[in-house]
Structure 1
Amino acid sequence: MMRSVSVWKQELADGTHTSRLAALYCCAPEQTPTQAARYAAVLDGLETTFGSHTEAGLYSAPGRTEIGGNHTDHQHGRVLAGSVNIDMIAAAAPNSLNQLRVQSEGYDLCVIDLSNLVARKEEENTTMALLRGECEAFRQRGAKLSGLDVYISSNVPKGSGVSSSAAFEVLIGVILNDCFMAEKVSPIAIAQIGQWAENVYFGKPCGLMDQMASSVGNIITIDFADPAHPAVEPVQVDFSKAGLALCILDSGADHADLTDEYAAIPSECRAVAAVCGGEVLRDVPFETFLAKLPECRKQCGDRAVLRAFHIYADNERVAKQVAALRADDFDTFLQLVTESGLSSWEYLQNVIPAGYKEHQEVAVTIAAAKHFLRGKGAVRVHGGGFAGTVQAFVPVEELAQFKEQMEAILGAGRCHVLSIRPEGGAVL
């Protein structure tokens, strides 16, 4: 929604948007000036980078936390996920150049000619690919695209496992939807557009969970049995009432060079499914998989078979986690989180990259967190794995000590205490 830049700045300064910001960032009203200043800063960044604009829109897309279902989404399984109170924000304003110009703080300027949105092989694995792909997806849905300048700022740590890439895709989707669609697409469609751009233009065979959690918001469970029409249900839960704090532990490992490790998981699972007569594991009954086990081992290898065991079990665990949360049975929920983490390490094998010896940061982070929690709470690898982050549910009374102990090992600022954000991609 475009409004006068001067009006935005005045309202941000005088507290007009306090209640909106308090809800988005899960904070007290007196804590919102910090967030208001972030939005004022992206308006300034827009002007500094692209020149003055009379009007602009303000937008937000949150990071996400995967709570259940590790790597189940790309096999059309179930997941449990939530949006969190760190985000990417943007100011966007029209230009007369028929170009999408995007400046993210700390990165190179990206410029897309809106008259040429064909996928380019040389752009794979670049931000340009994501932008071009999303523009094309919206064009196919009837968007009347025209020139737009976008300035982005983020407090979602890159490579942190809370999915800065999905937040970026959702943010761009929210902006294009608001600016160019006469009939707005749904948050689910925005997530699907982000995944399509990442799969087809960026060249990464990701699932849909990250984008969906960021776009839809709050805690949701998603069943991807029909990926074109995923079933999304809210799950009402307040971890603070259970005496639990949600922590995301940054292991310090970078996943930039691990694309092949990530791509191998869906590829191997699909290979197992193919032996059993399906496209993905969700197509294949577990009993059929067991009957075909010797053939799967011979054709796909044992790692692929072990990964399939994980997918089947974690898919069932999601349903049990949802039932436990809806019954306020947090002991069962925590036990299921622990089981999922063990399964990811032992069967899915996405904690230590193949052949790594000196660098096993995620494994060390898990070991230290389990030691300090002494059997309380729960710990598991978070998201794609191999690098990035670990998730921990920590008893509130032990949070301060746990944070201090973990940051003594990982470094200051690497234990993020997060809240579940009640809204996904947002137009301020």
Structure 2
Amino acid sequence: MMTQLMETFQKLYGEGGEIRTYFAPGRVNLIGEHTDYNGGHVFPCALTLGTYGLVREREDRVLRFYSVNFERMGVVETSLDDLVPHKEASWTNYPKGVMWAFEKRGYHLDHGMDILIWGNIPNGSGLSSSASLEVLTGIILKDTFGFDQVSMVDVALIGQDSENNFNGCNCGIMDQFASAMGKKDHAIFLDTNTLKYEYAPVILKDAKIVITNSKVKHSLVDSAYNDRRQECETALHELQQAVEIQTLGDLTEEEFEMHKNAIKDPVRQKRAKHAVYENQRTIRAVEALKNNDVELFGKLMNASHKSLREDYEVSCEEIDILVDLAQAMPGVVGSRITGGGFGGCTVSIVKNDTVDEFIDSIGKAYQEKVGHEAEFYVVDIGDGARKLEQ
């Protein structure tokens, strides 16, 4: 594939000069959903699926972008003097946003680039194609302009800043952090409030991680994602009148139950309940994995989905069908929605000898019920973003 991408690059932009290649992975979150902007814990891992970038420096301030995934758009040309979001700029608003965020921090970009992008993360699947593209851009800028003082955690934070303040999605830090900081065969147990993290080995004896794409596309910017965040922030302010906390992640389940009536609206109360209970589930799930208790990990995944469906209300009919089918199947340890919600993917832990049957029977049943196919990925956990050796 890299040879093909190199040929495409040279055909589009001409030959000559040094063309460098980079990769940033997508992520799947095993448990800990919608906790990352509520000061809680998350447990994502980087995938071997991701976004590739080929880059050559220019002498002027022109930026040229081309995505193999959006061939119809052709080469999109802009410049470092136009780092503002435009609707017609489409996907290029993501790399432009990261450039804007670097400049805002005082990292001067003094020349343009020719950039070719190809990703094998399905768009709108909830596996963080946008965060992957942001982190990819971050490492391209770090390497190209010699910003050695920019750490990989900084790259993640800059990506989050660009998505929040340039592209208008009020996401937490998890997606960018997982893409930037991933480690092969490990998930990241991250406290989103302090950014303290540890790598936990994901040793699933006789089992695999299977991602199922509902093929229901979502856009978090246009969805109720920002509404959920606002509801949680309001609930936090109400709780702070009754108990001394900085974030919803500071509360145990017992403390929440004791003070929940400080939240005046029943819907906000449900949202806050999810944030608190999901955080505690995530802490217990990581402990279970450390103790090789995969069965308990699976039960906590199932409980996570129930909460996301009923309390946080970010699931949808197609996702619930996939999860119900999976949870009812022997050999499935646990299954839940993953990502921001409103479509996208489920993540399931499936015993090795059941994987083929899982894909076959759930695929058929899902198509019968909703009228279109699902896609299945048996995934490996990979390393974080990096420059690729030529």
Could you tell me the TM-score, scaled by structure 1's length? 0.81
Q: Which structure 1 residue ranges, 5 or more long, are not aligned? A: 1-37, 353-359
Give the distance between the partners of 1:196 and 1:349, measured in 2 at CA.
Answer: 26
**Alpha-carbon contact 1:248-1:418 (below 8 Å) kept:** yes
| Shift of residue 134, structure 1, vs aligned partner | 1.0
Range that drifts further, 201-210 or 137-146: 137-146
Tell me the residue number matched to 1:41.
Answer: 4
Give the distance between the partners of 1:84 and 1:393, measured in 2 at CA.
Answer: 15
Alignment counterpart, residue 80 of structure 2, candidates 114, 117, 121: 114
| Shift of residue 97, structure 1, vs aligned partner | 2.8
Give the distance between the partners of 2:292 and 2:239, measured in 1 at CA.
Answer: 38
In the alignment, structure 1 residue 419 sits paired with structure 2 residue 380 = yes
**Alpha-carbon contact 1:43-1:91 (below 8 Å) kept:** yes
Alignment of 1:99-248 (within 5 A): 99-107=62-70, 108=73, 109-117=75-83, 119-120=84-85, 122-123=86-87, 126-139=90-103, 140-218=105-183, 219-226=187-194, 230-239=195-204, 242-248=205-211
Alignment counterpart, residue 316 of structure 1, candidates 276, 280, 298: 280
AA matched with 1:111:
E
> Structure 1's 93 and 270: CA in aligned 2 closer, same or farther, altered over 3 A?
same
> Structure 1's 276 and 110: CA in aligned 2 closer, same or farther, altered over 3 A?
farther
How many percent identity over aligned positions? 27
Deviation per residue, 1:327-354 (Å, 9 max, x gap): 22212222221221222112111112xx
> Structure 1's 96 and 155: CA in aligned 2 closer, same or farther, altered over 3 A?
same
Tell me the residue number matched to 1:92.
Answer: 55
> Structure 1's 183 and 395: CA in aligned 2 closer, same or farther, altered over 3 A?
same
Q: CA RMSD in A?
A: 2.2
Q: What SS does the aligned partner of 1:189 have?
A: helix
Could you tell me the TM-score, scaled by structure 2's length? 0.89
Tell me the residue number matched to 2:326.
Answer: 369
Q: Which structure 2 residue ranges, 5 or more long, are not aligned? A: none
> Structure 1's 116 and 283: CA in aligned 2 closer, same or farther, altered over 3 A?
farther
> Structure 1's 341 and 286: CA in aligned 2 closer, same or farther, altered over 3 A?
closer
**Alpha-carbon contact 2:294-2:333 (below 8 Å) kept:** no
Tell me the residue number matched to 1:18.
Answer: none
Deviation per residue, 1:203-246 (Å, 9 max, x gap): 110111111111111211110123xxx1121111222xx11111
Give the distance between the partners of 1:71 and 1:296, measured in 2 at CA.
Answer: 19
**Alpha-carbon contact 2:319-2:345 (below 8 Å) kept:** yes
| Shift of residue 128, structure 1, vs aligned partner | 3.8
Give the distance between the partners of 1:133 and 1:162, measured in 2 at CA.
Answer: 20
Alignment of 1:202-351 (within 5 A): 202-218=167-183, 219-226=187-194, 230-239=195-204, 242-256=205-219, 259-277=222-240, 280-282=247-249, 289-297=256-264, 301-351=265-315
Give the distance between the partners of 1:285 and 1:243, measured in 2 at CA.
Answer: 33
Tell me the residue number matched to 1:52.
Answer: 15
Q: What SS does the aligned partner of 1:276 have?
A: helix
Deviation per residue, 1:266-286 (Å, 9 max, x gap): 111001001123674236676
| Shift of residue 326, structure 1, vs aligned partner | 1.6
Give the distance between the partners of 1:413 and 1:285, measured in 2 at CA.
Answer: 37
> Structure 1's 53 and 253: CA in aligned 2 closer, same or farther, altered over 3 A?
same
Aligned length: 372
In the alignment, structure 1 residue 74 sits paired with structure 2 residue 37 = yes
Give the distance between the partners of 2:340 and 2:220, measured in 1 at CA.
Answer: 13
Deviation per residue, 1:300-329 (Å, 9 max, x gap): x32221111111011111111111212222
**Alpha-carbon contact 2:136-2:385 (below 8 Å) kept:** yes
Tell me the residue number matched to 2:353.
Answer: 397
**Alpha-carbon contact 2:301-2:334 (below 8 Å) kept:** yes
> Structure 1's 258 and 136: CA in aligned 2 closer, same or farther, altered over 3 A?
closer
**Alpha-carbon contact 1:112-1:131 (below 8 Å) kept:** no
Q: What SS does the aligned partner of 1:235 have?
A: strand
**Alpha-carbon contact 2:315-2:337 (below 8 Å) kept:** yes
**Alpha-carbon contact 1:100-1:114 (below 8 Å) kept:** yes
Give the distance between the partners of 1:369 and 1:286, measured in 2 at CA.
Answer: 28
Give the distance between the partners of 1:250 and 1:125, measured in 2 at CA.
Answer: 27
| Shift of residue 53, structure 1, vs aligned partner | 3.0
> Structure 1's 329 and 382: CA in aligned 2 closer, same or farther, altered over 3 A?
same
Give the distance between the partners of 1:184 and 1:103, measured in 2 at CA.
Answer: 29
| Shift of residue 406, structure 1, vs aligned partner | 2.1
**Alpha-carbon contact 2:333-2:349 (below 8 Å) kept:** yes
Pick 1 or 2: higher relative contact order, CA cutoff 8 A, min separation 6: 2
Q: What SS does the aligned partner of 1:202 have?
A: coil
Deviation per residue, 1:190-214 (Å, 9 max, x gap): 1111110000000110111111111
